[in-house]
A and B are shown apart, each in its own frame.
Chain A
Amino acid sequence: MLHTQLAWYIAGPVMGLCVVACRLLFNARLGVTGGFSEIIGKVMARSLNFDWRGWFLIGVVLGGTVFALAAGGPDFHGYGWLTRHISDTALIAPILVVAGVAIGYGAKLSGGCTSGNGLSGNATLSPASMVATATFFLTAIAVSFIIKALV
């Protein structure tokens, strides 16, 4: 990470307030996967008439741009353990694509990602979201330790 990390006790609560804002404005869950799903679903139906969830995702992307412009560049170079430990860069792209498929499909199947289930779903104390959150955190932790042992 190249830039100073904002204190967790500011970044976390502000993101929590984004979840509350979606409740107060739309009576709906905030979710990044919901945004992907809205845009992809509409494009599949040959439409660009995205609802607020699609525009939310566009906003998240723009938020990254705003940050990079203000900070004078992106937050990191390379790509984590992949570019550090895999010398053949031709292997990294397929690994990221497969991981991306798992992220997209898995999030849809379980009803949300880290924001939709992890923040918004848990905020309603939804048992399904709690089970999903515990499962994906434990899985990602296990995968990280397995990768650490292998590389």
Chain B
Amino acid sequence: MRTRGAGLLIGVVFGVMLSWSGMTAPDVIRGALLFEHGYLFLFMASSMLVATAGSWLVRRAGARALFTGQPVSWVRDRPERRHVVGALIFGLGWGVADACPGPIATQLGQGIAWGLWTLAGVVIGVTLYLRRQQVETEPATDPATATDPARHPLQPASG
């Protein structure tokens, strides 16, 4: 219950910031991708800087995660083919719709009707991926695949 409340609260802050920074508007994203204004890049860079500094400070301090009790740590993945191919597919969609999953969610919250189509597409895309994963991890037929650690990342993929 507490973990869900905390997730919800962080989400609300994240959603308000995404909206207030203008990232919900496709023309703002498009203007940045066409290098017409630098806001998105400064926004993204400052966010990455704080996220990186904060994460490393927390780990360096030896902090334990409040809800799990485990020491803060992470696995750094080596780049694989799927990271490049997936990001290419993602970038194509992003460049056309001028929205990524965060803005698609805030468009929904703001009541932007056009965003429902993009949202429907995201639901279909994620469902397709999860179905494919289920088929691939079916252990009865292919034990070699089922025990391949690369296909079973310990940390759930998120985005």
Which residues of A approach B to under 8 Å, CB–CB?
A: 1, 3, 5-6, 8-9, 11-37, 40-41, 44, 50-68, 71, 74-76, 78-83, 92-133, 135-145, 147-148
A8 touches B105 (CB 8 A): no
- The reply to whether A135 and B91 form a contact with Cβ atoms under 8 Å apart is yes
Q: Mark B5-25, 1 if CB is under 8 A from A, else 0.
A: 111111111111111111011
Determine the distance from Cα of A108 to Cα of B80 in the docked complex, in whole angstroms.
14
Q: Which residues of B contact A116 (CB under 8 A)?
A: 157-159
| Contact A100 B7, CB 8 Å, known A65-B109, A144-B30 | no
The 10 A-B residue pairs with the shortest CB-CB distance in the complex, in nearest-first order: A63-B15, A100-B121, A59-B11, A64-B109, A34-B158, A104-B125, A139-B91, A143-B95, A110-B86, A16-B50
Chain B residues proximal to chain A, CB less than 8 Å? 3-22, 24-30, 33-35, 39, 42-52, 54-55, 58-59, 63, 65-68, 70-74, 76-80, 82-102, 104-112, 114-115, 117-130, 153, 155-159
24 contacts between A and B (CB under 8 A): A6-B17, A8-B46, A15-B47, A20-B51, A23-B65, A25-B10, A37-B157, A63-B11, A66-B16, A74-B112, A75-B110, A80-B30, A98-B121, A99-B97, A101-B121, A103-B100, A106-B91, A106-B92, A112-B158, A112-B159, A113-B90, A115-B102, A116-B159, A142-B95
State which of A12, A56, A81 has its C-beta within 8 Å of the C-beta of B44.
A12
**In the complex where A56-B8, A103-B101, A103-B104 touch, is A74 in contact with B110 (Cβ < 8 A)?**
yes
Judged by DSSP, the binding face of B is helix
Provide the bound-state CA to CA distance between A33 and B104, in Å.
11
Complex partner residue of B159 from A8, A113, A123, CB under 8 angstroms: A113
Known contacts A27-B68, A33-B159, A63-B11; is A97 also within 8 Å of B46 by CB? no
